Amino acid sequence: MSITLLVPIFNESTNLQKGVLDKIGNFTKDDDRFIEVLIADDGSTDDTCDILKKHYLPQFPKFRLLTLPHGGKANTVIAGMREARGELVFMTDADLATPIEEANKLITVQKESGAHVVIGSRGIRRPDAPMTRTILALGMVILRSVMFGLPGIKDTQCGFKLFEKKSAIEVIDSLLVFKRKSVGKEASVSAIFDLEFLVIAHKKGKVIKEVRVIWRHVETKRVSFIKDMIESLIDMARLKWYDVRGRY
């Protein structure tokens, strides 16, 4: 088993000051399962990359920096997935809302089941999150269940996932709705990339497992409730349209 730990980042100087990469570095440095930690930077405009180059890359030999033009989180994830050297790619958000130690749960499930995708689940009840986030999450669960099924999956949006790289690239190459999305704008919490990925994976017969993980709300300014809700609804309608037309 060889794993690339993929960390998409954008203007993360605040999180770096909290020591998130120290936690990731210490977790992976003596673990032979992880052959690299690929930090994919989405065109940060603060001092994130300077901090990485001066402090973290020399300190942790497994760390590798991939610099990209700003195109949003999903584009950064896709680029990182293609660049990854591991047979498996583990993705975590840079804020570590889910502690990195929870990765062991997903890795164990993948090893025992041979699943192509293992996703972390925050559950529906999120006591630390603002009410608007909880309402949006519950609404998305109901809509996804009605429109797409995805049996056994309750949380498509958790940024804590494990992929078999070969299968993930196959799915990425089949994306339709996401490819229509404009790039170069601030990443949103739109459901479309994660949801379309899982819908296609399910249709291609990929085995998807969901694992409950610890999650703590981390405040962010990148979430706009009304804007993201409208965008998500539009994107879900496009995804359903392609689905009923048999485009996948």
Tell me how crowded residue 111 is: count the other CB atoms within 10 A of its CB: 13
**How far, in Å, CA of 196 to CA of 198, rounded?**
5
Which residues are bridge partners to 36 per DSSP?
A: 4
Residue 144: per-residue pLDDT: 78
What is the identity of the amino acid at 223? V
Residue 182: per-residue pLDDT: 47
CATH number, residue 190 = 3.90.550.10
User: Residue 2, exposed/middle/buried by CB under 10 A (0-12, 13-18, 19+)?
Assistant: middle
Q: How many domains does the chain have?
A: 1
Residue 180: per-residue pLDDT: 58
Residue 133: per-residue pLDDT: 65
**How far, in Å, CA of 122 to CA of 215, rounded?**
6
Residue labelled with tokens 């694992």: 211
Choose among 6, 84, 20, 85: nearest CA to 48.
Answer: 20
pLDDT digits (tens), the chain, 248 positions: 899 999 999 999 999 999 999 999 999 999 999 999 999 999 999 999 999 999 999 999 999 999 999 988 889 999 999 999 999 999 999 999 999 999 999 999 999 999 999 999 987 665 566 666 666 667 777 787 788 888 888 888 889 999 999 999 999 999 998 875 545 444 444 558 999 999 999 999 999 999 999 988 776 555 566 777 788 788 889 999 999 999 98
Residue 188: per-residue pLDDT: 44
Residue 62 has which token pair?
Answer: 């497994």
Distances (CA, A) of 160 to 33, 41, 98, 198, 238: 17, 17, 7, 14, 25
Contacts of 95 (CB under 8 A, 6+ apart): 15, 20, 218, 220
Residue 189: per-residue pLDDT: 43
**158 with 98: CB under 8 angstroms?**
yes
pTM for this predicted structure: 0.89
3-class state of residue 245 by DSSP: coil
3-class state of residue 109 by DSSP: helix
Domain residues for the domain of 85 are 3-244
Residue 184: per-residue pLDDT: 47
